[in-house]
Every structure is written in structure tokens, then in C-alpha cells.
């Protein structure tokens, strides 16, 4: 805190001087402050701005006039000025005025929450309000902004507002500098008319670019979900002078081609060795110029884009993917394309989220339909079993009641045994408190009664069985139980082998029998189908390989399940 609140010779802020040019410029900055106040219903907003060649900062406040909040606002602005001076001194030099994109890449210097809280205590910030402040610099100019806002305003909303206001002020400073330069050349006679015309054209280009960005945002808002990335590519390419393009977005961890301009092959796979994938992975802009010396090692490296695009191209990443842009002439501007991509990146991110949410919704509906279909099928199976087995036994028992008691007793014992068997089959398979090995070995009793020999093999790294989590053990047991049920009912097998293997990422379990196999065209049955669906929900797989004399059921379950 001593560094933040250290004393200076004087507070380096003065009100704007009421000259005609400065008054107009100050009014524009004051309008930005008033807009910030109106946006969040703030009590006070102060903007201190400074550019090269001007030693003292100018101050614009909203609402106009003096305010009870001025002491705490000025204290924060002074602390920010101290911090900004320290940062500039640590760097040694400032970025020169000629560096491009100064308003696109700005540095933010913020006080910590602790420092602001200390200033608020000293200056007695009223309850129900919060103070947010930051300094911003593009290397040539700087701006400090402090806002007293209601405490119910979200911090993220206030930080975003500070960023937007700072960019607007820096843009006004840049625009004012351009106007000053234009006026200078106009006053120096006809010999400098060419330079003045160039400055005017540059100013017009900047305004045109700014207007195009506004139009691009409006067009992105109107884009339909079916063609949103097609419009994204058209907007970026059209605004920067490119005639070929392709857009790739992240899909399930992989970069997938989403949209292309006419003439670009749609079978392009950006997940291979492509500039798009490298640009997205490293989050940097990568350019390729066809007229440069190809002896450079980087240029020699062959990417897929070099076989797709005839001329130079550039790849620009954004949060949800990357775009490749190509041009057959020199009219295209990579810097302008970067500015458009940066402005449209939030829209692209929201489109990807909407696409993924739609896919998940469809998957949930499909799983729900499959679940209800399985329930209906299981109910029909139960009804058939009751009709085919229990109903016949009950009919026989009814007849036996007219005969000897021993015959009736025998029939009823069969009915009781069948009902218990059906109850066991309907009960969900669970290992309870037992281990997976113990639960599987309990199933050997069913195999022995059916005349099937069982062998259990447990493989592990280094010859020792590795630990398997309880949810994965439960899924493994369900796979084994359903596979053994099929062996007992249908396989006519003499022996079966169960193998469990665990590595660092997944558990793998297989059940192999020497039975007659699954006939061609025969379904797996509801048991294995239900297990397969549960495994898919957990990110696992179930594979059934069958031929005469050998059937193997293999399940792999990620340990993260």
C-alpha cells in the first residue's frame, strides 16, 4: 500500500482547457463518461487521459460538476498513476507512435481488491457502493478510469465496461491525433498536400473499417444456426479482401472443417498436418507467402493448405476454432482480418456452444426413446415368461388338485421354484459389499449347475492385480452376468473363461465360451443391449465377436467412469 499511495509533487490531473479544439475533444471524452454512468446507473465516473507530448493528464467527469465522490475518485486515480509510472519505468521505453494496432492490443494495470479496499476505508466509501478502477495504455497513450457503482452490479460487468470505455477513449485520442496531423499538413501549403491527402485517406480507411466492424457484428447477429459459420467466413473474407477461405471449429477435442468458400474441397481434414491446426493449437497467427524464399526451413514444411490454396494465405485462431484465408493478389489485409475475427470471436464461441447443446439434446432424446423401448420389451418378455411357464404350471396344479396330494405338492413346489428363479433374474445385478472377484465367483454356481466349467484369469501390471473403482467394478459385473446368462441359455458351451485386465486408464473384461456361437442375423437380446447402452453413457465400448465354437464378449470401461 505504501507504493500505491506514495506522495507525488502534485496530483497530475488538470481540467481540460476551454480552447475550441480541446473543448470539443473533452466533450467527446465526457460523453463517454456519461454513457458509462447511464449504462450501470453509477454515482460517479472519472476518466483521466494522457497522450505523448502532453505532460499533464486531462480529466473528464460525469455527472458534470463537483461531487461528494471526488476525493475517493481522485485518490484512486492518483494511485493508478503511481502504478502506471512504475510499470512504464520498469519497461524502460514506450512503444512508438508508429506501431500499428495500438488500440487493438492494450495493457491493463489494475489495483488489487486489497488496495482499493484500503483507499475506500481512508476516503470513507459509503455502504451500498463499490469502487472499480483500472489504467490502460497502448504504449503511446494512457487512460485511467474510476467508477463508483451500486454494489449489486457484477464485477465482470464493471470490468467489461472499463475495457470498452478505455478502448473508446484511446480511439478518440488516436482520432484526435490523426485530425491534428491532418490540420498540420493543411496549414503548410501545397508542397505538403500529398501527405495531407494520405492522412485523410488513412482516416477514411479507419472509419470505413470501423463501420464494417459494426456491420459485421450486425450480420453475425442475424446469422441462422444452419449457416452461421458460412456467414462468419464470408464476413471475414469480404471485409479483408480475401477470395478463398475455410473455417474449422473444435468438435469433441478435434478440429473439424465447418464451412468453406466455393471451390475449396470439403474433404479437407484440419486434424492432420495443417496450418489451421497449428494456429489453433498454439493460438497464434500463421502466414504463408508464396512469393518468399522457400529455402527457409519453416517455408519448406508442407501443410495441407499449401495444396489447397493457389496463393498466399494466413490462418487466424479464435476461441472456438481457426479460419484460413487466401488471396490471389496483394489487396487482402491480414491485420483487418484479425480485427474482424477478434470482434466476431464471441459469436463463434456461442455458435459452437449452441451446436453442442443441440447435439446433446438429440442424444438425450434418443437415449430416452431407447430406454422406454427397452422397458416395454422387458415387460413383454416378462409377460411371455409368465404365460409360457407359470401359467402352464398353475394349470397343471389346478388339475393335480383333483388327484393325489403328492402330485399337487410337487407341482406347487415347481411353481415356487420358478417364481424364485424369475425374481432373481429380475433383480438388478449388483456386487453388494463383495469384491468384483467374489461376485464373479458366485456366478460359477450357475455355470456348474448348467454343466459348464469356468476359468477366471485376472491380469495386472507387473503381475499384481490393480485396484478398480467400485462404479467400474459394478459395470464389469453386469457385463459378466449378462454374458454368462447367454452362455447358459443359448450357447450349449462346455467351458467359459473370464479375463479381467486393468491399466492406468481403463478396465477391460472379456467372457469367452466354446459354444455354438450367435447365428447370423440373431440379435444380442435385451440384456447385452442394455449393458451396451450403459457402457456408452460412461464412455465405454462393448464388442461381441462370434463364430462357430467361439464367442467372445469384450467390454472396455474408462476408469474415469
Establish if 315 belongs to a structural domain: yes
Q: What is the CATH number of the domain that holds 335?
A: 3.30.450.40
In a domain, 420, yes or no: no
Are the C-beta atoms of residues 348 and 320 closer than 8 Å to each other?
yes
- Whether residue 130 is contained in a domain is answered as yes
Rounded CA-CA distance 543/552 in Å is 8
Q: Can you say whether the dihedral through the CA atoms of 201, 95, 184, 23 is positive or negative?
A: positive
**Residues forming a β-bridge with 46:** 61, 146
* Same domain, yes or no: 81 and 164: yes
Place of cell 458509462: 36
Same domain, 278 and 344: yes
The answer to whether residue 205 sits within a structural domain is no
Please tell me the predicted confidence (pLDDT) of residue 292.
54
Q: Of 348, 382, 403, which residue is a domain's last?
A: 348
For residues 169 and 239, membership in a common domain is answered with no
Instruction: Name the residue range of residue 528's domain.
Output: 428-558
Number of domains in the chain: 3
Answer for the pair 178, 186: CB distance below 8 angstroms, yes or no: no
Q: Give residue 376's pLDDT.
A: 63
Neighbours of 376 (CB within 10 A): 10
102 and 157 co-located in one domain: yes
In a domain, 33, yes or no: yes
Let me know whether 183 and 224 are in one domain.
no
pLDDT at 211 (0 to 100): 67
168 and 233 co-located in one domain: no
Q: Are residues 498 and 548 in the same domain?
A: yes
Edge-to-edge, what's the strand order for the sheet holding 541-547? 453-459, 495-502, 506-513, 550-558, 541-547
Residue 100 lies in a domain: yes
> Does residue 399 sit within a domain?
no
| DSSP helix/strand/coil, 140 | coil
Taking Cα atoms as reference points, which of 309, 296, 358 lies closest to residue 323?
309
Domain harbouring 77, CATH code: 3.30.450
Tell whether 43 and 140 lie within a shared domain.
yes
Residue ending a domain, choose from 302, 331, 348: 348
Q: What single string gives the DSSP state of each residue in 426-478?
A: HSPP--TTS-HHHHHHHTHHHHHHTT-EEEEEEE-GGGSPPP--HHHHHHHHH
C-alpha cell at 454: 469356468
Boundary-marking domain end, from 187, 210, 240: 187
Tell whether the torsion through CA atoms of 290, 270, 240 and 333 is positive or negative.
negative
Q: Can you give 145-179 as a three-state secondary structure string?
A: EEEEEECCCCHHHHHHHHHHHHHHHHHHHHHHHHH
> Are 23 and 157 contained in the same domain?
yes
Residues 93 and 174 in one domain: yes
Cα separations (Å) of 226 from 169, 222, 358? 38, 12, 12
Label the pairing between strands 506-513 and 495-502: antiparallel
231/327 same-domain check: yes
- Does some domain include residue 373? no
CATH number at residue 442: 3.30.565.10
- Per-residue pLDDT of the chain (561 residues), as tens digits, is 444 444 433 334 344 444 444 457 788 888 888 988 888 888 889 998 876 655 567 888 988 888 888 888 888 888 888 888 887 777 654 444 444 444 457 888 888 878 888 887 877 778 888 888 889 888 788 899 999 889 888 888 888 888 888 888 888 888 888 887 777 776 665 556 666 566 667 666 666 666 676 776 777 777 777 788 888 888 888 888 888 888 888 887 778 888 888 888 777 777 777 888 888 888 898 887 766 544 444 444 566 777 778 778 889 998 888 888 888 776 788 888 888 888 888 888 888 888 888 877 777 767 766 666 666 666 677 766 666 666 666 676 677 677 777 777 777 777 777 776 666 665 556 677 788 888 888 888 888 888 899 899 887 654 444 578 888 888 888 889 888 888 888 888 899 999 998 887 788 999 999 988 876 555 566 667 778 888 887 778 899 998 888 899 999 988 764
Is residue 179 located within the same domain as residue 246?
no
Amino acid at each position: 500500500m505504501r507504493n500505491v499511495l506514495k506522495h507525488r509533487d502534485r496530483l497530475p490531473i488538470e481540467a481540460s482547457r476551454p480552447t475550441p479544439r480541446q473543448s470539443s475533444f473533452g466533450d467527446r471524452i465526457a460523453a463517454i463518461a456519461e454513457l458509462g454512468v447511464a449504462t450501470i446507473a453509477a454515482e460517479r465516473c472519472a476518466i483521466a487521459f494522457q497522450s505523448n507530448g502532453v505532460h499533464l493528464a486531462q480529466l473528464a467527469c460525469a455527472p458534470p460538476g463537483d461531487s461528494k465522490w471526488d476525493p475517493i475518485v481522485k485518490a484512486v486515480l492518483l494511485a493508478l498513476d503511481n502504478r502506471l509510472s512504475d510499470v512504464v519505468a520498469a519497461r524502460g521505453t514506450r512503444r512508438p507512435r508508429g506501431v500499428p494496432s495500438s488500440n487493438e492490443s492494450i495493457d491493463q494495470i489494475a489495483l488489487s481488491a486489497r488496495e482499493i479496499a484500503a483507499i475506500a476505508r481512508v476516503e470513507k466509501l459509503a455502504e451500498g457502493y463499490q469502487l472499480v478502477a483500472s489504467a490502460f495504455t497502448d504504449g503511446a497513450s494512457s487512460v485511467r478510469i474510476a467508477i463508483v457503482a451500486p454494489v449489486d452490479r457484477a464485477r465482470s460487468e464493471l470490468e467489461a465496461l472499463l475495457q470498452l470505455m478505455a478502448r473508446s477513449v484511446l480511439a478518440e485520442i488516436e482520432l484526435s491525433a490523426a485530425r491534428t496531423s491532418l490540420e498540420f499538413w493543411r496549414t503548410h501549403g501545397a508542397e505538403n498536400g500529398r501527405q495531407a491527402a494520405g492522412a485523410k485517406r488513412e482516416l477514411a480507411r479507419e472509419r470505413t473499417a470501423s463501420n464494417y466492424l459494426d456491420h459485421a457484428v450486425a450480420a453475425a447477429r442475424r446469422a441462422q444456426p444452419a449457416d452461421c459459420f458460412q456467414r462468419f467466413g464470408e464476413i471475414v473474407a469480404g471485409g479483408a479482401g480475401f477470395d478463398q477461405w475455410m473455417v474449422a471449429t473444435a468438435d469433441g477435442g478435434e478440429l473439424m472443417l465447418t464451412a468453406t468458400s466455393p471451390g475449396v474441397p470439403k474433404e479437407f481434414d484440419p486434424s492432420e498436418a495443417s496450418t489451421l491446426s497449428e494456429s489453433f493449437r498454439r493460438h497464434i497467427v500463421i502466414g504463408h507467402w508464396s512469393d518468399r524464399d522457400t529455402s527457409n526451413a519453416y517455408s519448406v514444411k508442407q501443410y495441407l493448405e499449401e495444396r489447397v490454396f493457389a496463393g498466399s494465405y494466413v490462418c487466424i485462431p479464435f476461441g472456438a476454432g481457426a479460419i484460413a484465408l487466401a488471396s490471389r493478389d496483394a489487396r487482402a489485409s491480414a491485420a483487418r482480418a484479425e480485427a474482424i475475427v477478434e470482434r466476431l470471436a464471441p459469436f463463434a464461441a456461442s455458435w459452437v456452444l449452441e451446436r453442442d447443446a443441440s447435439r446433446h439434446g438429440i442424444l438425450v432424446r434418443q437415449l430416452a426413446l431407447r430406454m422406454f423401448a427397452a422397458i416395454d420389451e422387458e415387460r413383454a418378455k416378462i409377460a411371455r415368461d409368465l404365460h409360457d411357464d407359470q401359467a402352464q404350471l398353475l394349470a397343471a396344479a389346478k388339475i393335480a388338485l383333483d388327484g393325489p396330494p403328492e402330485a399337487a405338492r410337487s407341482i406347487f413346489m415347481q411353481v415356487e421354484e420358478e417364481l424364485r428363479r424369475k425374481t432373481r433374474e429380475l433383480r438388478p445385478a449388483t456386487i453388494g459389499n463383495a469384491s468384483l472377484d467374489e461376485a464373479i465367483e458366485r456366478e460359477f454356481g450357475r455355470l456348474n449347475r448348467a454343466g459348464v466349467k469356468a476359468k477366471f484369469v485376472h491380469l495386472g501390471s507387473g503381475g499384481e492385480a490393480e485396484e478398480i473403482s467400485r462404479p467400474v467394478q459394478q459395470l464389469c459385473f453386469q457385463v459378466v452376468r449378462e454374458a454368462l446368462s447367454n452362455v447358459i441359455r443359448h450357447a450349449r458351451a462346455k467351458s467359459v473363461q473370464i479375463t479381467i485386465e486393468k491399466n492406468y486408464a481403463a478396465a477391460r473384461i472379456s467372457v469367452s465360451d466354446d459354444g455354438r456361437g450367435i447365428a447370423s442375423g440373431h440379435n444380442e437380446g435385451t440384456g447385452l443391449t442394455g449393458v451396451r447402452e450403459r457402457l456408452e453413457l460412461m464412455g465405454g465400448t462393448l464388442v461381441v465377436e462370434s463364430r462357430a465354437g467361439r464367442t467372445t464378449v469384450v467390454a472396455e470401461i474408462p476408469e474415469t467412469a
